[in-house]
């Protein structure tokens, strides 16, 4: 199985990459600097960079694409004076547009594989059932990623490509902080099982890392 993971240089992405490598799978990871044997240099906010990734992967089937790259820039912003317009633009460029352009660029590779899968890492903060206030930009971007995944699932079902959207848990990363609930390795182990279970029959699902269906 050939797997490509965006934002695989740290946190959940790196734990996923290492987990799949330990299982003997062929894994390519993206990071913003430093191409190497199992790494592609990609900036998901740059359409030209994403296009170059597509060219580098031309003709290679991808069985599983994990759209993991993401940012949480508005932590601690205040409603009265925070959330500047550029922060909205930059966050959506990574968390939403970057996801779409990555999938669009690698769609030929997914169509070359049999029963290909796309996993979009969103968040429980995308759900309208969890709206305690604050973090407006991150919440809105992850809700958009959830909506994007649901609609891609509808359009790609006829191609036999399944799309799942996932909450990875509150993870001990730079984004989640040291007080978070689980380690990146625990999140990766759960997510790997979720990806294995994903099929056209369950396409469009929104699930947690530990296998629970999450309300939209």
Phi-psi region of 116 (alpha: psi -120 to 50; beta: other; left: phi over 0): beta
Q: What's residue 189's pLDDT?
A: 96
Q: How far is residue 40's CA from residue 25's CA, in Å, rounded to a whole number?
A: 17
Stretches where the chain sits below pLDDT 70 are 173-178, 180
Domains defined along the chain, listed by start: 2-208 (3.40.50.720)
Q: What's residue 69's pLDDT?
A: 97
Enter the pTM of the model. 0.95
Q: How far is residue 51's CA from residue 55's CA, in Å, rounded to a whole number?
A: 6
């Amino acid at each position: 199985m050939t797997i490509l993971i965006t934002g695989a240089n740290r946190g959940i992405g790196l734990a996923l990459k290492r987990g799949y490598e330990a299982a003997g799978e062929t894994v390519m990871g993206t990071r913003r600097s430093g191409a190497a044997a199992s790494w592609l240099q990609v900036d998901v906010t740059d359409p030209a960079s994403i296009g170059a990734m597509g060219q580098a992967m031309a003709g290679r089937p991808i069985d599983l694409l994990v759209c993991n790259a993401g940012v949480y820039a508005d932590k601690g912003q205040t409603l009265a004076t925070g959330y500047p317009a550029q922060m909205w633009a930059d966050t959506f460029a990574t968390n939403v547009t970057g996801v779409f352009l990555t999938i669009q660029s690698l769609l030929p590779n997914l169509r070359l594989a049999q029963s290909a899968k796309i996993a979009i890492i969103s968040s429980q903060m995308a759900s309208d059932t969890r709206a305690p206030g604050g973090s407006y930009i991150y919440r809105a971007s992850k809700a958009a990623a959830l909506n994007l995944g649901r609609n891609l699932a509808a359009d790609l079902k006829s191609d036999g490509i399944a799309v799942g959207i996932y909450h990875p848990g509150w993870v001990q990363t730079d984004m989640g902080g040291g007080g978070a609930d689980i380690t990146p390795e625990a999140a990766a182990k759960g997510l790997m099982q979720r990806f294995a279970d994903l099929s056209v029959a369950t396409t469009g699902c929104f699930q947690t890392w530990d296998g629970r269906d999450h309300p939209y």
